[in-house]
Amino acid sequence: MENRDCHLAFAIVNRPNMNWTIIIIAFAVLAGFYLLKRMSFVSEEIARQHLANGALVIDVRSPEEFQSGNVPNAINIPLGELKEKLPDRVKDKNQVLLLHCLSGGRSGIAQQQLKAMGYSNVFNLGSFSRAREIVAGTKSS
């Protein structure tokens, strides 16, 4: 009996180590996801070059989000309406398009959709705040 109790006590004492392992793995996965997401954003330098050469900024947020604040000269076409409305607004599939949303997630989805539709120069600016800073010419943090 005494040996069994010892094993039970050992298992209970070592259990917190397992919890820390799970926390560390979860943190690593989230950090990796964040870094991959950031790597999919166009660089500030390239985005500014495209803007100087006539790129269009497309905001894929909802009209309500757009009305609460927007990037100057951005065109608001919500993600759910992009496939129907963008071809009417942008006939040239070689036109450079810089997409953004609130966090960069919806604009990433929009980028994939537009590439599948044949638009060849589609870039994800990322979040609204990052897009605003790039268009305004300030350094993003």
In the residue annotation, 6 being an active-site residue is answered as no
Compute the CA torsion angle 74, 78, 81, 87 (nearest 10 deg).
20
Q: Which of the residues 51, 101, 131, 135 is marked catalytic?
A: 101
Burial 113-122 (b: 16+ CB within 10 A, else e): bbeeeebeeb
Identify how many contiguous H helices and E strands the chain contains and give both numbers.
6, 4
Q: Which residues are catalytic?
A: 101
